[in-house]
Amino acid sequence: MEKKSNSWIEKHRYVYRLFSGRMQAQALLTALELRVFDHLSSPLSSEELAATLQSHPVNTEVLLDSLTAVELLEKKGGQYCNVQCADELLNSGSRNYIGKMLLLMHRMSAGVVSDMTRLVQDGPFADNSSFGNEEIWIDYARTVGNYHRGNMMQNIAGIVSGIEGFSSFNKMLDLGGGPGLHCIGIVSESESMKGVVFDRPGVLRVAEEFIAEYGMRDRISVKSGDYLTDSIGEGYDLVWASATLNFARSDLDRLMRKIHDALVPGGVFVSFAEGLTGEGTKPDFYVLENLSYALTGFNQVFRKGEIAGAMRRVGFASVESITVETPMMPMEMDIARKKK
């Protein structure tokens, strides 16, 4: 007898997996809130962990089984232990801990998620004033620091240091630099270059902590302000901007001219940002993460080639674009050089 196609099963399972994503995410968030992964570098039973967390024993086991189902834990002989990925990224004792960043991302989007149907039906109603709340950006700078200080920091520095003429660069600007770790990594690739991290005053307190931690106070300084309205300085051989130009997307050419003018002849501007493809539908991670902002009226996401186009319009002599793989998604690095 001819075997029937299982395509109908696969279609159903695909939709069910999408639907179950909400429970996967919530199980992860609950585990982070309870610091479950902090206690499972070595095997423990659910009863032992419940005693440590002072949590409900039966429901603790239910949560642990769910985390095992999504392969964040291993279960052997009734004992649970972090898999390597969970121990490196979700254990708050790890140098590469990203759990706090995930919790912050959740808090920033939770209200929109609960009101999504209403937002789609009636349009934006949420208050976007949180984008001007400096405390949010201070918290974000601290949490994103661990994401940057992993392989990201070294990978980016390695790419930028390979730009022609890098060894002769004397001064760089990290525009909207947040924790300043990209600046630290890039400056570390040079024997003599000095750097400036430009951001909001509160955020720069976080950058100064990282600068001190890496022993770079003699080579990296900070400059506070709003790059949309304030001077960003001048005489830079290199300007670096990572995931920050979105705030200028509605008037990108004006900021691009400011950056162009801040560079010395032959200087280089490097933008590192998302670049949506598929008519604005890919990569799926970023499209979905941006959903909470887009529905409230802040849809400032760049399409692939958009930043490079602005670079050319304001007079950069050459523009090169490459796609860089990151832990979250592919991102676009646009490298523009000013005429000598």
Query: Taking a C-beta distance cutoff of 8 angstroms, is the pair 260, 315 a contact?
Result: yes
Please name every residue paired with 245 in a beta bridge, in sequence order, or none if there are none.
none
How do the pLDDT tens digits run along the chain, 340 residues long? 455 567 889 999 999 999 999 999 999 999 999 999 999 999 999 999 999 999 999 999 999 999 999 999 999 999 999 999 999 999 999 988 999 999 988 988 888 888 999 999 999 875 554 555 677 778 888 888 878 887 889 999 999 999 999 999 999 999 999 999 999 999 999 999 999 999 999 999 999 999 999 999 999 999 999 999 999 999 999 999 999 999 999 999 999 999 999 999 999 999 999 999 999 999 999 999 999 889 988 888 999 999 999 999 999 999 999 999 998 899 999 999 999 9
Distances from the Cα of 317 to the Cαs of 83, 269, 322, in angstroms? 49, 11, 17
> Cβ-count burial of 192 within 10 angstroms (0-12 exposed, 13-18 middle, 19+ buried)?
exposed
Q: How much is the pLDDT for 2? A: 52
Q: Phi, psi (5° rounding) for residue 269?
A: -110, 130
How far apart, in Å, do the first and last CA atoms of the chain sit?
75
> Cβ-count burial of 330 within 10 angstroms (0-12 exposed, 13-18 middle, 19+ buried)?
middle
What pTM was estimated for this model as a whole?
Answer: 0.89
Amino acid identity, position 321: S
d(CA 73, CA 17): 19
Torsion of CA 142, 145, 146, 151, to 10 degrees: 180
Q: How much is the pLDDT for 323? A: 97
Q: How much is the pLDDT for 238? A: 98
283-335 pLDDT per residue, tens: 999 999 999 889 988 888 999 999 999 999 999 999 999 999 998 899 999 99
CA 83-89-90 angle, to 5 degrees, is 80
Domains in the chain: ranges and CATH = 7-107 (1.10.10.10), 127-337 (3.40.50.150)
Q: How much is the pLDDT for 1? A: 46
Nearest CA to 80 out of 31, 113, 46 is that of 46
